[in-house]
Structure 1
Amino acid sequence: MGDLSSAPVPALRSDDHVRGDAASEELVVMYADFSCPRCAVAALRLRNAEAPVVFRHFALKTRHPRSVPLARAAEAAALQEAFWPFHDSLFGDQGRIDDPHLWDRCERLGLDVGRFEADRRSDAVAERVARDLRDGMRAGVTGTPALLRLSVD
């Protein structure tokens, strides 16, 4: 009989979104979906956590139709150094997640909306979101929010 265990949580990457000290010995990895109400609650609780938090996307359009567009929007904001403010804004107001509301968020955060639109439709951003989903599935994530520990050697 073969090994049915999950792969380990992927190591910290240079493009991971980390809130707190990335050099900490132990990190909390949160696989989440911006349209998931339980994820919003978990994100709020983790804002004040002692352990640094790594955010990774677990966007399944079959569960939430806006999950992939929102993940791509957050990555586009990240390319303008605004991942965490955009993250907090999305989780803070999940009732306004359609495109016009995303553009309003960009304007409030001082982002270039034209660049945001081009970036969120790019292949690189799509691959970044898809990679997080694949890695989460390999690590045994089946739903959101999923909180996993990552030890840094």
Structure 2
Amino acid sequence: MSLKPAIGQADHKQGGHKASIEIVEYGDYQCPYCGAAYPILKQIEDTFGDQILFVFRNFPLQEAHRFAMVAAQAAEAAARQDKFWEMHDAIFENQQQLSDAYLFSLAEQIGLDVDQFQIDLEAESTVKKVEDDFESGVRSGVNGTPSFFVNGQKFDGGAEDLMAMLKESTQ
């Protein structure tokens, strides 16, 4: 049995907080399918604005993607300096260059205190946040990335299908 992924205080959210549509994505920063979904999700946010509340949760597939875990930790470390979405976007926009060193370059580019970023990147609480996201995905029946939930229901399809469904449901 899978559990509905309830949105909570620990989640990274953007969009309308009184939105009629909640989208939760479980993603992996190194996954090519997540990388392909990223611009479509941006388009969804631009198109539907405050009608949508978008949540991103880490689901690093470590066996398949060498930098997935450290990239998730980098986004969480950036969150401690209120720059989660800036790091999230920067990682996906530069996915092909992903490496440990490049994450530090991105941290600098988005204006993080790089020394603090280094500390937060390796903090036990940062690793725990990523692991908690992952476990939440497992409990909700996630077995690949990207996985989407719309208003608590697992959405079977990719980002293009999500855009089409949203256009139909808001007409």
Q: Does residue 18 in structure 1 map to residue 13 in structure 2? A: yes
Does structure 1 conserve the Cα–Cα contact (< 8 Å) formed by 2:31 and 2:145? Answer: yes
Show the counterpart of 2:109.
108
Q: Does residue 146 in structure 1 map to residue 147 in structure 2? A: yes
TM-score between the two structures when normalised by the length of structure 2: 0.81
Which of 18, 22, 25 is matched with 1:27 structurally? Answer: 22
Task: State the percentage of identical aligned residues.
Answer: 35
SS at match of 2:95: coil
Q: Does residue 8 in structure 1 map to residue 7 in structure 2? A: no
User: Once the two structures are superposed, what CA deviation does each residue of 1:55-86 show, in whole Å capped at 9, x if it has no partner?
Assistant: 00001211212111110010001111111111
Show the counterpart of 1:79.
80
User: Once the two structures are superposed, what CA deviation does each residue of 1:70-116 show, in whole Å capped at 9, x if it has no partner?
Assistant: 10010001111111111111111112111221111111111011100
* Structure 2 unpaired stretches of 5+: 153-171
Which of 43, 46, 57 is matched with 2:41 structurally? Answer: 46
RCO (CA 8 Å, sep 6+): is it higher in 1 or 2? 1
Give the aligned residue type for 1:36: C
* Structure 1 unpaired stretches of 5+: none
Give the aligned residue type for 1:114: D
SS at match of 1:19: strand
CA drift of 1:19 comes to 1.9
Computed over aligned residues only, the root mean square deviation of the Cα atoms, in angstroms, reads 1.2
Does structure 1 conserve the Cα–Cα contact (< 8 Å) formed by 2:67 and 2:100? Answer: no
Q: How does 1:130-145 map to 2 (within 5 A)?
A: 130-145=131-146
Question: Matched residue pairs, number?
Answer: 146
Q: Which has the higher helix share?
A: 2
Show structure 1 runs of 4+ deviating over 2 A: none
Q: Report the Cα distance in structure 2 between the residues aligned to 1:60 and 1:126, rounded to whole angstroms.
A: 14
